[in-house]
Amino acid sequence: MDSSYVVFENVKKSYDNKKLVVKDFNLKVKKGEFLTMLGPSGSGKTTCLMMLAGFESITSGEISLNGVAINDIAPHKRNIGVVFQNYALFPHMTIAENLAYPLKIRKMDKELIKEKVNKSLALVELLDFEKRYPGQLSGGQKQRVALARVLIYEPEIILMDEPLGALDKQLREQMQYEIKKLHEELKLTIIYITHDQTEALTMSDRIVIFNDGIAQQIDAPMKLYEEPANSFVANFMGENNQFRGKVIGDDEEEEGIINIETKFGVIKALNVNNYKTGDSTLVSIRPEKILLSPDEKLGIKNNFKATIKDILYIGDHIRLVINIGAEKKDFVIRHTVSMDAHAYKKGDQIDIGWHRKDCRALDVSK
């Protein structure tokens, strides 16, 4: 039996009946899951969220919540809470009055309203702020009030569209922790949209990567980062070195590894898409996977000579910009700051290497 809580089935969306902004989207979300939709502007992630909330109609396909199709159910009857980047608080009302207002409109009992307001403020640790006005709160406090306003309804699912976009780095990180803590404590089902990849990686149970109206990959954060399904995901999700090559045959020592001819020599990479001899490919290697002066005992098969073009000190690591052999394309290495970090300087000739399975042969087209 399917235990999925939210289901998108073959969902498409067009605003002009010509161009699809969401193309055949399928997704299953478990109850209590924290799922993040990530992708560039215009990729379709917000449209999917708005269709689930009921603020946008579906061109074709079906969305169901807890086993019930909701395509034709009005937004206010879906029991879905939405938190936007814009707090939308009434400036002339106190925090308690802001939370109580929609409940009063529904003619709820006064004592029950007070109980719900206090409970919601306690959840976001703002119980002592009930008599303050929005103008007296920081950005982070306003966002917590916006979250409390959604929690007061006890919705089945909470949708968040760039809720922390207006906050500075320190406040963002604090709110990330608080939202994740509420998710775990209350067993909330949350679908979250962000442009911030670090935010997505640290908060999510799973991530959907969107591009051009298509879900490119749906996976756990570590799997997305370590095992991107295509070159778009590899390039979009964190820093990445990419270079073109042509497959010249299978590796004789290890199954699933292919030899690829590049401008700086033959490399060995994981054959992600079952490439054959003669196929073109785009090879992907993360900066932190490239090792400096690798130990022979590691058995690394991709070994090259390189020249340091530039060195950037970041704090907890240094970034080395290098050229491999005669290839003038810049490669980036992320190296942890250690005793040997200060030994490197511009113009140095160095030995580098990386493991075969840390290097992925991906598609050229995306």
CATH of the domain at 272: 2.40.50.100
Boundary (domain end) residue, out of 215, 232, 249: 232
Instruction: Round to whole Å and give the CA distance between 270 and 260.
Output: 10
- Tell me 255's DSSP state: T
Based on the fold, state whether residues 20 and 133 are members of the same structural domain.
yes
Query: Do 100 and 73 belong together in one domain?
Result: yes
- One domain, residues 219 and 250: no
Among the three residues 232, 248, 277, which one is the final residue of a domain in this structure? Answer: 232
Using the predicted structure, report yes or no on whether residue 339 has a pLDDT greater than 70: no
Kindly give, in sequence order, each residue whose CB lies less than 8 Å from that of residue 273, ignoring residues fewer than 6 positions away: 281, 361, 362, 363
Interval 173-196 mean pLDDT: 91
For the cut 70, the answer to whether the pLDDT of residue 167 exceeds it is yes
Relative to beta strand 291-292, strand 206-211 is unpaired
How far is residue 283's CA from residue 178's CA, in Å, rounded to a whole number? Answer: 38
* Number of domains within the chain: 2
* Token output for 188: 């909330």
Which DSSP symbol is given to 162? S
Are residues 159 and 245 located together in one domain of the fold?
no
Domain that holds residue 123: 4-232
pLDDT of residue 295: 83
In angstroms, the CA 179 to CA 163 distance is 10
Say which residue the tokens 């902004």 belong to.
Answer: 21
* Listed residue (171, 172, 158) closest to 78, CA to CA: 158
d(CA 135, CA 114): 22
Strands (E), the chain: 4-14, 20-30, 34-38, 60-65, 68-69, 80-84, 157-161, 190-194, 206-211, 214-219, 241-250, 257-262, 265-271, 280-285, 291-292, 302-313, 317-324, 331-336, 349-354, 359-362
Q: Is residue 245 a contact partner of residue 262, using CB atoms and an 8 Å limit?
A: yes
Mean local confidence (pLDDT), 293-302: 86
Residue 315 backbone zone (phi > 0: left; psi -120 to 50: alpha; other: beta): left
173's CB contacts (< 8 A; 6+ apart) are: none
What is the total residue count of the chain? 366
Could you tell me if 206 and 321 lie in one domain? Answer: no
Shared domain for 213 and 249, answered yes or no, is no
Are 212 and 256 found together in one domain?
Answer: no
The alpha-helical segments, DSSP class H, found in 210-271 are: 221-226, 231-236
| Of 202, 232, 262, the domain-final residue | 232
Say what the pTM is: 0.89
> Taking all residues of the chain, what is their mean pLDDT, rounded to a whole number?
90
Q: Say yes or no: 288 and 314 in one domain.
A: yes
Same domain, 308 and 225: no
Is the CA virtual torsion 240, 244, 247, 252 positive or negative? negative
Write the CATH number for 106: 3.40.50.300
Residues of the chain above pLDDT 90, percent: 64
Query: Is pLDDT above 70 for 280?
Result: yes
- Same domain, yes or no: 220 and 255: no
Note the pLDDT of residue 340. 65
Cα–Cα–Cα angle for 336, 337, 343, nearest 5°?
A: 115
The answer to whether residues 178 and 291 belong to one domain is no
pLDDT of residue 1: 46
Phi and psi for 77 in degrees, rounded to 5?
-105, 5
Is pLDDT of 320 > 90? yes
Give the per-residue SS3 of 4-35. EEEEEEEEEEECCCCCEEEEEEEEEEECCCEE
Q: Give the pLDDT confidence score for residue 86 in this predicted structure.
A: 77
Question: Which tokens sit at 18?
Answer: 């010509």
Could you tell me if 217 and 284 lie in one domain? no
Q: 187: which DSSP letter?
A: T
